[in-house]
Chain A
């Protein structure tokens, strides 16, 4: 790309293409065929693949009148992002990030997508921000209106540009690693989120998986999985039976227990995709004598809040309902299970969505990790570290480490329940790389978006995992990547499957609660690392 304004070029062909030989190499661990993916020919007329040949939006191309309306609404949306009332939630960080970037591009190599893609210009963290900055200058500042390209106000808003920006807002996982690198404190990750917000809150455009089958389904049925309360109760019964079968223990999982100390809020996807993980929590909390409850109220059993990725109004609605449910149960504390974005939403963002005098605000909102460390540290549950005698590494959830500062408890736990087999990825902690599935990437399945995710977004994490286990790769022993986030586990599952890490190197993944329960001495080993959960 010679000039940024080329981004507005009128063409239905991709302005950038991804070639396999340009992607970051996974050699010597994996031999990859050099066959570049191309979307079916008829898609180029039917859908809009004009950014990079990929799309997560199966919209049919609009008419000319509709395009005009979209342009008008897009500009209205920018105006609302710049309005302190309609955007009070993020106005200050957004405005400062829009105004004060010095374009040193120090943020570039922070981004796992930019690096993973072989440094394609459009994936640079600052690229989409700079496009928006130039539009802002061109349409909303006097200097831009008068001096135009002299002050960098050289991008005209066209439908093609808007359509590409919509896609580009979903080529960032909002991990905000770029913000950590910036010497000025500019947050390009936030700008990507603000763009998503503009599209959703003004134009009603969002991936079907995060809006229609996401927050809408969540509010309507109680879960983004579509699981209704009676199904939840059935799943709980199934999990109780499963625990009995596996461990010989009869555990009653507390549901709707009024006055419990804690309401535990799991990611709803766990009940269907990883019921063993729910079982692990039930076994652990039962053994430790924790006075807790789950909720069978609509929404009360699914702690995800996809609004965090794209829409402030939806974010507030889902979150408020969760707190109301906890309040109605009379619990003192809402403990967030192993779900990264849910951690951030309730512990950090919701701190300022309600006033401190509200009874809902006064329900303490905490991560499950300090509690789990307390259980392990106290010795209330007898654990045998030798049960976890295999190489273990830990994948940090960006939301939990970089955006919340919970770094240590999970490491202390793993070190305490394994016999010195823990190894860190590099980089790790607050400087970790995103799993590649953050901010909705793991669940968006429309058109060929998953191809982009698998080829590009998951790539650096795949390399990191292989590098971490490089000295034991060829040993016929299980190797485990532990993650404390459901979304990250989804990405790890995809990585293991697509890049055949389990098949080739016996690399598996697990939640942290599962690993702890695997070490409990009075029940059989909990993990089956000889198989990979699909």
Chain B
């Protein structure tokens, strides 16, 4: 048992980081898509950002270097991460409050785990003062999950899009938060949490000294970390790709750039499609140049 907990304790953050990194690498190796941005863009100049303008509003824009507010791209996501801005503004099903609670439950859970680790390394004895964060995390998280389960199960427009796996994912989170809450509500729960992490860091988790609920909670947390890259929970990290690399990617090609090289390669890919107007065994470039082609049949 101890060995299993130790192995999972070491492997789970590695799998989380590696899993996300490998997925990001795979996405970055996908072909360079045609530009498909959507405005407003957060890296535009302050004036243009206000109304969704772009450098293409300027005469002879190719001869000018567009003014860019790069920091904007890194500030904008926080509106969503911390406030679920779009869900609040546009979602018609009243899920924002529950979704906020769930997401803050997760953020606070990571923060709490971070505090426990720092405390264990530096022996700062700050955990009791900050234990309110753990309570907040587990309570908010549990309420958020319960609210979302009820919403998904009772609102027809959400229900028909929800599969058993989606409920299972929510249930998994509920067990994570609820086990955490029970763990710290137990007498000495906070200290046991510290003991667990100290043990993990020292390579010796004193299972006999710990209550079952503490062991269970940390076990579920580790499984959660492993599960993130391979499940719906990856929707968080993937936003970097959907926004920064697609919807906010408005930069035109530069001669001699790696983008240009990629495009040149991609034009030589075989088309493969078999529609009546397509030469399946020819490349994209050959198909595009074939402007006189009429239906094959």
Please report the C-alpha to C-alpha distance between residue A370 and residue B53 in the assembled complex, in whole angstroms.
Answer: 12
Please report the C-alpha to C-alpha distance between residue A130 and residue B270 in the assembled complex, in whole angstroms.
Answer: 29
16 A-B contacts, Cβ less than 8 Å apart?
A80-B273, A84-B31, A86-B272, A88-B33, A96-B241, A97-B242, A99-B238, A121-B157, A181-B90, A183-B80, A183-B86, A186-B242, A317-B287, A349-B35, A356-B256, A370-B58
Please report the C-alpha to C-alpha distance between residue A100 and residue B239 in the assembled complex, in whole angstroms.
Answer: 9
**Closest Cβ neighbor of B63 among chain A residues:** A364
Give the dominant DSSP class at B's interface.
Answer: loop
Q: In the assembled complex, which residues on chain B have CB atoms less than 8 Å from the CB atom of A180? A: 38
**Closest Cβ neighbor of B295 among chain A residues:** A216
**Closest Cβ neighbor of B271 among chain A residues:** A86
Q: In the assembled complex, which residues on chain A have CB atoms less than 8 Å from the CB atom of B252? A: 351
Q: Evaluate whether A404 and B54 lie within 8 angstroms (CB atoms) in the complex, with A88-B31, A90-B34 already known.
A: yes
Q: In the assembled complex, which residues on chain A have CB atoms less than 8 Å from the CB atom of B275? A: 200-204, 311, 313
Contact with B along A387-411 (1 / 0, CB 8 A): 0000000000000011111111100
Q: Do the beta carbons of B232 and A317 come within 8 Å of each other?
A: no
Q: In the assembled complex, which residues on chain B have CB atoms less than 8 Å from the CB atom of A446? A: none
Complex A-B, nearest 5 residue pairs according to Cβ-Cβ distance, in ascending order: A405-B54, A185-B242, A152-B163, A430-B52, A316-B288
Interface residue B257 (Cβ < 8 Å from any Cβ of A)? yes
Q: Do the beta carbons of A351 and B87 come within 8 Å of each other?
A: no
**Closest Cβ neighbor of B168 among chain A residues:** A150
Interface centre among B56, B95, B250 (most CB of A within 10 A): B56
Contact with A along B248-281 (1 / 0, CB 8 A): 0010111111011101101101111111111000
Q: Do the beta carbons of A96 and B255 come within 8 Å of each other?
A: no
Please report the C-alpha to C-alpha distance between residue A50 and residue B3 in the assembled complex, in whole angstroms.
Answer: 60
Q: Do the beta carbons of A179 and B38 come within 8 Å of each other?
A: yes
Q: In the assembled complex, which residues on chain A have CB atoms less than 8 Å from the CB atom of B220? A: none
Interface size on B, residues (CB 8 A): 92
Q: Do the beta carbons of A348 and B30 come within 8 Å of each other?
A: no
* B-contacting 9-mer, from A20-28, A56-64, A101-109, A248-256: A101-109
Please report the C-alpha to C-alpha distance between residue A185 and residue B77 in the assembled complex, in whole angstroms.
Answer: 11
Q: Do the beta carbons of A351 and B60 come within 8 Å of each other?
A: no
Interface centre among A90, A104, A216, A353 (most CB of B within 10 A): A104
Interface residue B165 (Cβ < 8 Å from any Cβ of A)? yes
Interface residue A30 (Cβ < 8 Å from any Cβ of B)? no
Q: In the assembled complex, which residues on chain B have CB atoms less than 8 Å from the CB atom of A110? A: 90
Q: Evaluate whether A401 and B52 lie within 8 angstroms (CB atoms) in the complex, with A92-B246, A108-B157, A187-B36 already known.
A: yes
Determine which of B38, B86, B284 lies in contact with A403 in the assembled complex, contact meaning CB atoms within 8 Å. Answer: B38
Please report the C-alpha to C-alpha distance between residue A179 and residue B90 in the assembled complex, in whole angstroms.
Answer: 12
Please report the C-alpha to C-alpha distance between residue A97 and residue B250 in the assembled complex, in whole angstroms.
Answer: 19
Determine which of B158, B246, B255, B295 lies in contact with A93 in the assembled complex, contact meaning CB atoms within 8 Å. Answer: B246
Interface residue B78 (Cβ < 8 Å from any Cβ of A)? no
**Closest Cβ neighbor of B163 among chain A residues:** A152
Please report the C-alpha to C-alpha distance between residue A4 and residue B166 in the assembled complex, in whole angstroms.
Answer: 15
Q: Evaluate whether A347 and B56 lie within 8 angstroms (CB atoms) in the complex, with A102-B232, A151-B163 already known.
A: yes
Chain A stretch 325-383: residues in CB contact (< 8 A) with chain B: 347-349, 351-357, 361, 364, 366-367, 369-371, 373-374
Q: Evaluate whether A89 and B34 lie within 8 angstroms (CB atoms) in the complex, with A184-B238, A184-B239, A404-B56 already known.
A: yes
Contact with A along B165-199 (1 / 0, CB 8 A): 11000000000000000000000000000000000
Q: Do the beta carbons of B160 and A405 come within 8 Å of each other?
A: no
Interface residue A85 (Cβ < 8 Å from any Cβ of B)? yes
Determine which of A100, A347, A369, A407 lies in contact with B235 in the assembled complex, contact meaning CB atoms within 8 Å. Answer: A100
Q: Do the beta carbons of A2 and B270 come within 8 Å of each other?
A: no
Q: In the assembled complex, which residues on chain A have CB atoms less than 8 Å from the CB atom of B56? A: 347, 366-367, 370, 404-406
Q: Evaluate whether A185 and B247 lie within 8 angstroms (CB atoms) in the complex, with A108-B92, A316-B288, A370-B57 already known.
A: yes
Please report the C-alpha to C-alpha distance between residue A351 and residue B257 in the assembled complex, in whole angstroms.
Answer: 13
Interface residue B65 (Cβ < 8 Å from any Cβ of A)? no
Q: Do the beta carbons of B263 and A354 come within 8 Å of each other?
A: yes
